[in-house]
Amino acid sequence: MKKIQFASLVCLLLVLAACGTSGTAETTDTKQLELSAQEVAKLVVDHRNGTISVRSDTSSDYIQVEAGVRSNGASMKKLELDLRADHNIAYLDARFEGQFLATGSGAVDLEVTVPKGVDVEIKSHRDGDITLNQLQSSASIDNINGDIFVSGLSGSLEIDNRDGNVTVTDIAETVIIDNLNGHVAIERIDGAVEIHVGDGSLAIDQVKKDVTITQTGKGEVSIGEINGNVVHKK
């Protein structure tokens, strides 16, 4: 009797999964969003799956977003894509909600431009590469899986990353990185650097101020030209 009940449960789950995938074949779409940033000091990006690319546009007073949406079997009705402002903070939400069983794991690829002086915070990101290039501001990133590339920031940078390689170059102020697994490459930093390395490796070079490295794993650490003091904790 128990075997029959278990088999019936499996069949029911398969039927539900089949129903969930019917009518939700791969669908793609491109959407544009725009928001005046005259009173905005920071953009907060709440994003789940997909790539993110952010750069500054010094000639514009608007935050502009181009979103490439891929359903990957998810219902497009579950897409949450919104750009809004609350006082001096802008919020960009880009994700699919309510996914269950085989209803898919949709993704949104974002290309974002921000005016000069608008800081960028990327949070709750789960899967996909992140690129920040030539930002006239500071930035922070909270990421679970995916490679991160940051180059040319006029402000400070903070990264909390679990799995993926991190490449950071040409940062004008302080850099703080907490990376659990993956290779970290840091070069040409005008400010101080504080980094925690887990099971990954680290290469750091051309830093003008102090460097503090906390290492909990056994990955290789390469230290090049550092003008300030170096503290390496194991």
Query: Is the pLDDT assigned to residue 89 strictly greater than 50?
Result: yes
How high is the pLDDT of residue 21? Answer: 44
Give the confidence band of 25 by pLDDT, cuts at 50, 70, 90: low
Query: Is the pLDDT assigned to residue 104 strictly greater than 70?
Result: no
Question: Identity (one letter) of the amino acid at 155?
Answer: G
Lowest mean pLDDT among 14-23, 26-35, 36-45: 14-23
Sheet holding 28-36, edge to edge: 28-36, 62-70, 107-114, 52-56, 130-135, 148-153, 166-171, 184-189, 202-207, 221-223
Tokens of 221: 């650490």
Q: How many CA atoms lie within 13 A of 60 on its CB side?
A: 16
Q: Which residue has the higher pLDDT, 104 or 59?
A: 59
How high is the pLDDT of residue 53? Answer: 97
Give the confidence band of 2 by pLDDT, cuts at 50, 70, 90: very low
Task: Please give the share of the chain, as a percent, with pLDDT higher than 70.
Answer: 86
Give the confidence band of 17 by pLDDT, cuts at 50, 70, 90: very low
Q: What is the chain's mean pLDDT, rounded?
A: 87
The rounded distance, in Å, linking the Cα atoms of 112 and 7 is 49
How high is the pLDDT of residue 127? Answer: 85
The rounded distance, in Å, linking the Cα atoms of 178 and 29 is 35
Give the confidence band of 88 by pLDDT, cuts at 50, 70, 90: very high
Task: Please give the share of the chain, as a percent, with pLDDT higher than 90.
Answer: 65
Average of per-residue pLDDT across 126-154 = 94
Burial of 172 per CB tally in 10 Å (0-12, 13-18, 19+): middle
Average of per-residue pLDDT across 187-206 = 96
How high is the pLDDT of residue 15? Answer: 45
Query: Is the pLDDT assigned to residue 31 strictly greater than 90?
Result: yes
How high is the pLDDT of residue 201? Answer: 94
Query: Is the pLDDT assigned to residue 10 strictly greater than 50?
Result: no
